């Protein structure tokens, strides 16, 4: 989609979502931004407005199906939505549940899978009516290979990667593009406690890559190439060695928390 004019971004209050919101801001653009932290979300909205965009923003938990549906309809009434980023997501380090591992895992599944469904379904419904639009689902390079130490997170990213690829085929006849994004480490709140995240890039750079590449509606965008290559090579290394490397990384992360 070239020059999208009405864009929904979930998880726009920080990180990749924030960088995408700023990147797409400009005169004639309507942005619908969501997140949960009002202070951070309204700060992002102010910057986007200064850059010329009209912004509608609301603190909504993506787990709330009805509120997501209502917000998306509200945005559509202002200007027909042509681009959606299902970006909101959490990992063990950013989950709000801290009580026990079961609550944390349930929250990761609910936000990363149901949250994406609550974004994509109402958007698809509307895009089918006007037979136009693009949906971008933010998965992860973690979807390429099992992630010991972050098993549930990795599983949710596999699920939404497959969801996006299947929906892409199902919705081609309606002229709706669907692209899955698989980033490696990006410097955001999610990675701030990692000690040596490999080939980490800034959220601004990630947004620039996404902005440039989704125009051609590719099936999947994975970056950075260096991490992708490493990941593919790691498939021939025995699992126990990979697990040792990842565990030592996670141990050192815990020590810093
Ligand atoms: N950073 C990486 O290395 C990396 C790599 C691969 C993929 N990703 C994916 O990229 C996406 C963005 O993450 P990020 O790195 O930018 O992390 P981030 O800075 O923590 O941003 C996550 C965003 O999601 C929002 N969010 C979280 N839970 C939510 C909920 N229940 N309801 C509504 N919004 C919610 C947060 O909003 P509030 O804080 O306001 O709640 C925030 O705006 C995620 O899907 C993540 O899995 C990140």
Q: What number of CA atoms fall less than 13 Å from residue 179's CA on the CB side?
A: 23
Q: Look at residue 121 in the predicted model and tell me its pLDDT.
A: 98
**Tokens standing for 201?**
């890039």
Which ligand 1 atom is the nearest neighbour of the CA of 12?
A: 43
Q: How far is the CA of 236 from the centre of ligand 1 (A)?
A: 31
Q: How confident is the model at residue 2 (pLDDT cuts 50, 70, 90)?
A: confident
Q: What are the pLDDT digits (tens) for 59-110? A: 999 999 999 999 999 999 999 999 999 999 999 999 987 778 999 999 999 9
Mutation test residue for ligand 1: of 61, 89, 156, 202, the one with most atoms within 8 Å of CB: 89
Q: What are the pLDDT digits (tens) for 120-174? A: 999 999 999 999 999 999 999 999 988 888 999 999 999 999 999 999 999 999 9
**Tokens standing for 248?**
């030592």
Q: How far is the CA of 174 from the centre of ligand 1 (A)?
A: 29
Instruction: Tell me the three state secondary structure of residue 105.
Output: helix
Give percent of the chain above pLDDT 70. 94
Which ligand 1 atom is the nearest neighbour of the CA of 63?
A: 31
What DSSP assignment string belongs to 148-214? TTSHHHHHHHHHHHHHHHHHHHHTGGGTEEEEEEEE--EESGGGTT-SS-TT-EEHHHHHHHHHHHG
Q: How far is the CA of 94 from the centre of ligand 1 (A)?
A: 8
Q: How confident is the model at residue 248 (pLDDT cuts 50, 70, 90)?
A: low
Which superfamily does 6-256 belong to?
Answer: NAD(P)-binding Rossmann-like Domain (3.40.50.720)
Give yes or no for a contact between 8 and 85, defined as CB atoms under 8 angstroms apart.
yes
Q: Look at residue 26 in the predicted model and tell me its pLDDT.
A: 97
Q: How confident is the model at residue 247 (pLDDT cuts 50, 70, 90)?
A: low
Q: Look at residue 47 in the predicted model and tell me its pLDDT.
A: 98
- Distance between CA 75 and CA 126 in Å, rounded? 11
Which ligand 1 atom is the nearest neighbour of the CA of 138?
A: 45
Q: How far is the CA of 112 from the centre of ligand 1 (A)?
A: 9
How do the domains of the chain map onto residue ranges? 6-256
- Distance between CA 57 and CA 167 in Å, rounded? 27
Cα dihedral value 162, 221, 250, 116, nearest 10: -50
Q: What are the pLDDT digits (tens) for 22-45? A: 999 999 999 999 999 999 999 999
Ligand 1 site residues, Cβ closer than 6 angstroms: 10-17, 34-37, 40-41, 61-63, 87-90, 94, 111, 115, 138, 140, 183, 185-186, 188-191
* DSSP-assigned letter for residue 142: G
* Mean pLDDT to the nearest integer, 190-213: 93
Q: How far is the CA of 89 from the centre of ligand 1 (A)?
A: 4
Q: How confident is the model at residue 49 (pLDDT cuts 50, 70, 90)?
A: very high
The pTM of the full predicted model, rounded to 2 decimals, is 0.94
Q: Look at residue 34 in the predicted model and tell me its pLDDT.
A: 98
**Catalytically active residues, by annotation:** 153
> CB burial class (10 A; 0-12, 13-18, 19+) of residue 237?
exposed
Which ligand 1 atom is the nearest neighbour of the CA of 41?
A: 40
Give yes or no for a contact between 46 and 122, defined as CB atoms under 8 angstroms apart.
no
Residue written as token pair 């089918």? 128
Residue nearest to atom 44 of ligand 1 (CA): 89
Give yes or no for a contact between 176 and 84, defined as CB atoms under 8 angstroms apart.
no
């Amino acid at each position: 989609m070239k020059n999208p004019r009405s864009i929904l971004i979930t998880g726009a209050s920080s990180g990749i979502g924030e960088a995408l919101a700023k990147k797409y801001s400009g005169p004639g653009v309507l942005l619908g931004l969501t997140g949960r932290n009002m202070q951070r979300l309204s700060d992002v909205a102010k910057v986007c407005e200064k850059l010329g965009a009209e912004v509608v923003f609301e603190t909504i938990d993506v787990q709330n199906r009805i509120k997501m549906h209502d917000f998306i309809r509200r945005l559509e009434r202002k200007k027909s939505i042509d681009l959606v980023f299902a970006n909101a997501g959490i990992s063990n380090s950013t989950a709000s549940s801290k009580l026990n591992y079961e609550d944390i895992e349930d929250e990761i599944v609910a936000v990363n899978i149901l949250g994406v469904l609550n974004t994509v379904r109402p958007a698809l419904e509307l895009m089918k009516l006007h037979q136009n639009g693009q949906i971008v689902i933010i998965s992860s390079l973690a979807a390429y290979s099992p992630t010991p130490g972050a098993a549930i997170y990795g599983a949710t990213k596999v699920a939404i990667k497959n969801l996006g690829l299947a929906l892409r085929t199902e919705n081609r006849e309606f002229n709706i593009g669907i692209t899955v994004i698989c980033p490696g480490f990006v410097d955001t709140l999610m990675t701030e406690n990692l000690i040596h995240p490999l080939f980490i890039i800034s959220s601004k750079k990630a947004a620039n890559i996404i902005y440039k590449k989704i125009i051609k509606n590719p099936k999947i965008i994975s970056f950075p190439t260096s991490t992708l290559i490493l990941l593919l090579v790691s498939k021939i290394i025995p699992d126990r060695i990979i697990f040792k490397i990842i565990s030592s990384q996670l141990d050192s992360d815990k020590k810093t928390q």
